[in-house]
């Protein structure tokens, strides 16, 4: 699978904003099934879990629960802080969507900055079997663009 970038994030990265600036303090939702053809599309599957900083409730436009990333030694972006995944439904994780720190209504959109990826590639989970009782620390997240 490939990490897919929404039209909104692609345009932002080509401007003065950059990926880290656009996605800082964002949130990652975990879904069942296969990821959509584009990160600009509405999510597919069932929303199973949400990853936030320290497992706190994510509140858009604030730092609360927002995920932080930093530049790693190998040049890619790595997680900063303690990322925790909490289940909201039962199912098997298939893909993830990272959304920015502003409100995102999950609709088809050329505006919202988003990244999609397959579970097991850049986002490593201890288990892909998620329940409403799931509450685990995310050990590894690594994002790199090939040259």
Contact partners, residue 17, CB within 8 Å, separation at least 6: none
The pTM of the full predicted model, rounded to 2 decimals, is 0.88
C-alpha torsion 22→25→29→34, nearest 10:
30
pLDDT in tens, the chain (147 residues): 567 778 777 666 655 677 788 889 999 999 999 999 999 999 999 999 999 999 999 999 999 999 998 877 766 777 899 999 999 999 999 999 999 999 999 999 999 999 999 998 878 898 999 999 999 999 888 776 654
Please check whether residue 7 is in contact with residue 110, taking contact to mean a CB–CB distance below 8 angstroms.
Answer: yes
| Residue located via tokens 């799931």 | 134
| Residue located via tokens 């397959």 | 118
Domain boundaries of the chain, sorted by first residue: 4-35+42-143
Residue 33 region by backbone torsions, left for phi larger than 0, else alpha for psi between -120 and 50, else beta? left
């Amino acid at each position: 699978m490939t990490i897919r970038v929404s039209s909104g994030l692609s345009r932002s990265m080509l401007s003065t904003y950059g990926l880290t600036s656009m996605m800082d303090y964002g949130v990652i939702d975990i879904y069942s099934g296969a990821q959509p053809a584009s990160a600009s599309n509405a999510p597919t599957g069932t929303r199973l879990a949400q990853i936030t900083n320290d497992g706190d409730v994510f509140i858009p436009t604030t730092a609360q629960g927002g995920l932080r990333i930093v530049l790693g030694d190998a040049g890619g972006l790595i997680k900063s802080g303690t990322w925790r995944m909490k289940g909201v439904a039962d199912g098997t994780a298939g893909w993830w969507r990272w959304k920015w720190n502003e409100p995102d209504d999950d609709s088809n959109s050329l505006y919202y900055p988003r990244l999609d990826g397959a579970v097991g590639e850049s986002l490593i989970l201890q288990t892909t079997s998620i329940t409403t009782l799931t509450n685990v620390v995310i050990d590894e997240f690594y994002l790199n663009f090939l040259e």
